[in-house]
Chains A and B, each alone.
Chain A
Amino acid sequence: MAEPVAAWHYDGRSATRHAVRAVPGPDGFLIEGETDGFGSGPHRWADVVALDGTGGRSVYGLKGVAGWRLIFDGPPPDSFAVHLPLPARYGRVIDRFGLTRAVIIFAVIAAALVFAVLSAPIWIAPLVPRSVENRLGDAMIGDFGGRFCRTDGGKAALDRLAASLGAQEAGVRSVEIANVPMVNAVALPGGRIILFQGLIAQAGSPDEVAGVLAHEIGHVANRDVTAALIRQLGLSVLLGGIDGNIGGALNGLLSLSYGRKAEMSADGYAIGQLARASISPDPTAAFFDRLGRKSGDKGSLERATAWISSHPVSADRKTAFQRSRVAGKRYVPALTAAQWTALRGMCAADRHAKKEKGFNW
């Protein structure tokens, strides 16, 4: 038996502080009160937990007894120290590796996870069955609150335009015009494309509508919508751990668009389809140009920038369309004059379509 050591003690049953002697032995130790007849033990070394001490004190707890404390003024005496564990610092796992190594390991894992979540959707998306995506899209959109404009002539013109741009082969299930005065077009889950009435009103010719529509068909063909959904889901799970705004802002920023590559690829698809249908790419290029300039106007600023904010107009994109023009090729209008009139007037003619002024997409 080693020498008894003076210590302070709380027994976890009352708030009284006891001055005690701790008597170490090979398997454990005893606690004996110095003045009162107080005492306990033996306590096993294996049950001792090291806690943070303050002011140079060493504080120990006992497994299974809440509030039980043994306190030495200063470092623990040698006869105790050999048996007692070190206090936890950063957490059990990190303490085992050491701070520097743990930071490096975590950083590598984090980078790999972020990379996986950002790149995985592109190859996971094609594996998602179309039927699952279709059901999801239909559940989300339904009849869009009765805002779709439909007349026989306009619908026929729109379907003809979509068919000439390879909509069916791309997996597009419906193309609709929504009575929303926004210059915008979206591809939604389930191969559903919606053109907003504001875009139709802004367009100077059917060829311009064809360019935008072909671009959205490109997104459906490439399954960018599914990829964006998966990416957003993955990011919100991954960044859910980060507190508050940083995570939210980052998440919003990353999932805002399909990404530059996807946009370029959708443009490529659109250019190919326009060429196949012998529709001139020039009006689409001009449309980009006009939208870009329009955003300077005061009143229409918000409406005009809707499509641009999700599809940034760059000089590269415009010239890509312009360059695809083949000199000497005979281009035909995307729709006949009668079809174009029917398409443009569809929302005015369809009295069942609900008009939405301040629709907040």
Chain B
Amino acid sequence: MGQDQDSAFRFEGRWQDYAPIAFTNLLLTIVTLGIYRFWATTRSRRYLWSRSRFIDETLEWTGTGMELFVGFLLAVVLFGIPFLILQFGVQALALRGHEGIAGLIGIAAFFFLLFMAGVARFRALRYRLSRTFWHGIRGGSDSNGIRYGLSWLWKSSVGVIPFWLLVPWSMVSLWNERWRQMSFGSQSFASQARARPIFPRFLLFYLMPFLVVIVAGILMATFGIAMVGFAAGGGLPLPFQILTIIAVLVGVYLLLGLIALAYYAAFLREAISNLTLGDIRFRFEASTSEWIGLLIVDILLVVCTLGIGAIFLSYRHWKFFITHLEATGEVSLAALGQSTTREPGQGEGLLDAFDLGAF
């Protein structure tokens, strides 16, 4: 097994088959004031997982809507309500003029939230692995994510301090730490991603101010002659000035987005391509231009359907992920025993509360 080098992972879904699921999910979510969304997520995942083939068998999603709902309720009770009260208290303190104490409580709350965001990310991955079956075997983790939360807290703080220069290091080392604690069946994941290969991409962020100046210079040189003509009459007409400012602003944001995308593409390639499970080595080969293509079609799909197309985004993203995911090596089925990790009782409530992605 594992001889087929190029397509160990295959996506076999069709959007025509997914459409009835997506539309009924939308309908039920609306009429239940949003409560159905946990069951909707489960239905979509059941479809997407069952259409994702690894070697000779499809994946299977066994999570339930009720688990996600209970996770959400827990997150609301344990964090939502205390933070509502805290926010109210901080506001009252600030209004009464105790800005100092209000600020301190605010900062403490911020760091606590950062810590919980790390725990949430870890637990979401653990939950998803524990509900993903292949050949009757599931994944999981023996860690509860508290230690990872602390790592996340200090590594993401330290990464930001020297002018964000250590962000690639913190992202990669957190990725490794997260995956090294995950397992599938009787085998553990190993992760050896490095920060060095993706660092040049990250430096593009620092290059951007110079790029902007250069582009502006070229523009000036091109339109300079026209400007001289206007200068005699008191500068450019107002609409043209406004258009120029808008063009520059849009350009800067677009450039920033492109750099972020290029960096993230490099990060995911490095991260996934150094992930192994037993003798299986994973690979992820989505290039920046493929990411751009994904996002442009996403935007067109949502805009041209006045937002309704958004129900297909999770389908598109999962398909993108699986089609670019590859694996090589041998799977020894007889040696791959069932996972002995504890099955988490509820879903991704925390992650839900912090609005983060799992990967």
Chain A residues closer than 8 Å to B56, beta-carbon distance? 17
User: What is the size category of the interface that chain A forms with chain B?
Assistant: 35 or more
Q: Which residues of A contact B34 (CB under 8 A)?
A: 239-243, 247
A to B CB contacts below 8 Å, 6 in the list: A14-B336, A16-B334, A110-B32, A110-B33, A140-B92, A240-B34
In the complex, chain A residues whose CB is within 8 Å of the CB of B336: 14-15
CA gap between A90 and B32 in the complex, in Å: 13
Residue pair B43, A17 in contact (C-beta under 8 Å): no
A-chain residues with CB within 8 Å of residue B136 when the two chains form the complex: 10-12, 15, 67-69
Tell me the complex Cα distance, A16–B51, Å. 21
Indicate if B343 sits at the interface (CB-CB under 8 A): yes
> Of A13, A54, A144, which is within 8 A of B95 by CB?
A144
By secondary structure, the A interface counts as: mixed
Decide: A142 and B96 in contact? CB cutoff 8 A. Answer: yes
Binds A, one of B57-65, B192-200, B244-252: B57-65
Task: Give every chain B residue within 8 A of A239 (Cβ-Cβ).
Answer: 33-34
Whether A106 is near chain B, meaning CB under 8 Å from some CB there, is yes
B92 shortest CB reach to chain A, Å: 5
Contact of B338 among A13, A59, A102 (CB under 8 A): A13
Bound together, the chains give a CA A66 to CA B136 distance in angstroms of 8
Please determine whether B135 and A51 come into contact, CB atoms closer than 8 angstroms. no
Not counting A69-B136, A145-B94, A243-B34, a sample of 13 additional A-B residue pairs whose C-beta atoms are within 8 angstroms of each other reads A11-B136, A14-B334, A14-B336, A15-B333, A15-B334, A52-B50, A68-B136, A106-B36, A140-B92, A145-B96, A240-B80, A242-B34, A242-B37
Given the known interface contacts A10-B136, A15-B135, the answer about A99 and B50 at a Cβ–Cβ threshold of 8 Å is no
What are the residues of chain A within 8 A of B76 when measuring CB–CB? 240
For chain B, residues 217 to 232, give those with C-beta under 8 angstroms from any C-beta of chain A: none
Give A237-252 interface residues, CB cut-off 8 Å to B.
238-244, 247
Is B239 part of the binding interface, using a Cβ–Cβ cutoff of 8 Å? no
Known: A17-B135, A94-B28, A113-B33. A66 touches B51 (CB 8 A): no
Return the CB mask of A2-15 against B: 1 if under 8 Å, else 0. 00000000111111
A354 at the interface (CB under 8 A from B): yes
Q: Which 3 A-B pairs have the closest CB atoms?
A: A10-B136, A145-B97, A241-B34
User: B333 near A14 (CB under 8 angstroms)?
Assistant: yes
Say yes or no: is B202 at the interface (Cβ < 8 Å to chain A).
no
Kindly list chain B residues whose C-beta atoms are within 8 Å of the C-beta of A66.
Answer: 62, 133, 138, 338, 343
Q: 1/0 contact trace for B58-100 toward A, CB 8 Å?
A: 1010100100000000001000100000001001101111010
- Is the C-beta of A143 less than 8 angstroms from some C-beta in chain B? yes
The residue of chain A having its C-beta at the shortest distance from the C-beta of B337 within the complex is A14
> A14-B334, A14-B338 given as contacts; is B33 within 8 A of A242 (CB)?
yes
User: Nearest chain B CB to A213's CB is how many angstroms away?
Assistant: 21
Q: Which residues of A contact B343 (CB under 8 A)?
A: 66
List residues of chain A with CB within 8 A of the CB of B214.
Answer: none
